[in-house]
Amino acid sequence: NAGVTQTPKFQVLKTGQSMTLQCAQDMNHEYMSWYRQDPGMGLRLIHYSVGAGITDQGEVPNGYNVSRSTTEDFPLRLLSAAPSQTSVYFCASSRRDRVDEQYFGPGTRLTVT
Amino acid sequence: DAKTTQPPSMDCAEGRAANLPCNHSTISGNEYVYWYRQIHSQGPQYIIHGLKNNETNEMASLIITEDRKSSTLILPHATLRDTAVYYCLTTARSNFGNEKLTFGTGTRLTIIP
């Protein structure tokens, strides 16, 4: 199993540009989530999904959209990038009844200038 | 979820046991204690969890006090590869996938050769 994969690994955007961070898992996990991590801070939950077609907001959802059309994929869209969205983004997945034991991807390092 | 308090940093000599404390004095009866770690630039990795009994797996041991207000993660023979930020979390488990993991700033453990 590849586990949780994220693309790209690095990305630089200009303010106002949009882009999609990709996340995929091959473990047939129902639960998937997106976190952001800023320097010196813990991870903050952006959005999560408990299954295909179901998404919900986390702690810091503003400026981000998600959709879940398949079990495997959970893309995160930045609608109009802002410097405050410069961060490292982690995608995670787990069984729906074991959200406490999440598998994390390697992260995407995003810089918005 | 209960708020957790951890020391910001600790050092441990290679080969010795690393004991990482966590206070969770407001923990509810149905909340578990979880530990994750994050090695530099990687996604967090699940280590261990427990409710009230001590737990051990191939990575670590978890000691929870009888009143459940604090716990200690023990890495029995620390190696340089154990240098990471260690997060202590609490959450109630459910079968609905609606629990959210809240990561604080953790303890930065440095293993010294």
Q: How far is CA A77 from CA A34, A53, A63, in A?
A: 11, 16, 8
Q: Work out the pLDDT band at A27, boundaries 50, 70, 90.
A: very high
Q: Pick from A4, A42, A100: which is nearest to B105 by CB?
A: A42
Q: What is the mean predicted confidence (pLDDT) over B66-84?
A: 96
Interchain proximity A99–B46, CB inside 8 Å: no
List of chain A residues whose C-beta atoms are within 8 Å of the C-beta of residue B45: 104
Statement: residue B92 has pLDDT above 80? no
Interchain proximity B46–A90, CB inside 8 Å: no
Q: Let me know: does B109 contact B18? Beta carbons within 8 Å.
A: yes
Taking only the tens place, the pLDDT of each residue in A62-94 is 999 999 999 999 999 999 999 999 999 999 999
Q: Let me know: does B58 contact B47? Beta carbons within 8 Å.
A: no
Q: Work out the pLDDT band at A23, boundaries 50, 70, 90.
A: very high
Statement: residue B1 has pLDDT above 80? no
Residue with tokens 């280590």: B47
List of chain B residues whose C-beta atoms are within 8 Å of the C-beta of residue A40: 105
Say if B108 is an interface residue toward chain A (CB within 8 Å): no
Considering only residues B92 and A51, tell me which one the structure prediction assigns the higher pLDDT: A51
Closest-CA distance, A94 to chain B, in angstroms, reads 9
Q: Work out the pLDDT band at B13, boundaries 50, 70, 90.
A: very high
* pLDDT reported for residue B91: 82
Statement: residue B97 has pLDDT above 60? no
Interchain proximity A96–B96, CB inside 8 Å: yes
- Strands B9-13, B107-112: pairing kind: parallel
Q: Work out the pLDDT band at B41, boundaries 50, 70, 90.
A: confident
- Which of these, B39, B84, B86, lies nearest to B62 by C-alpha position? B86
Task: Show the CA angle centred on residue B76, arms to residues B72 and B78, nearest 5°.
Answer: 105
List of chain A residues whose C-beta atoms are within 8 Å of the C-beta of residue B91: 99-100
**SS in 3 state form for A35-81?**
EEECCCCCEEEEEEEEECCEEEECCCCCCEEECCCCCCECCEEECCC
**Contact residues for B23 (Cβ-Cβ < 8 A; gap 6+):** B4, B5, B6, B69, B70
* pLDDT reported for residue B98: 57
Considering only residues B97 and A48, tell me which one the structure prediction assigns the higher pLDDT: A48
Interchain proximity B100–A58, CB inside 8 Å: yes
Interchain proximity A104–B104, CB inside 8 Å: no
Percent share of chain B, pLDDT over 70 = 92
HSE, CB side, 13 Å, CA atoms: give it for residue A68.
22
* pLDDT reported for residue B105: 84
Lowest-pLDDT choice from A5-14, B22-31, B38-47, B93-102: B93-102
HSE, CB side, 13 Å, CA atoms: give it for residue B18.
28
Considering only residues A100 and B97, tell me which one the structure prediction assigns the higher pLDDT: A100
Say if B86 is an interface residue toward chain A (CB within 8 Å): no
The beta strand positions in B1-113, using DSSP E, are: 9-13, 18-23, 31-38, 45-50, 55-56, 61-64, 70-75, 84-92, 107-112
Cβ–Cβ pairs < 8 A, chains A and B = 72
Closest-CA distance, A81 to chain B, in angstroms, reads 22
**What average pLDDT does the structure give for chain A?**
94
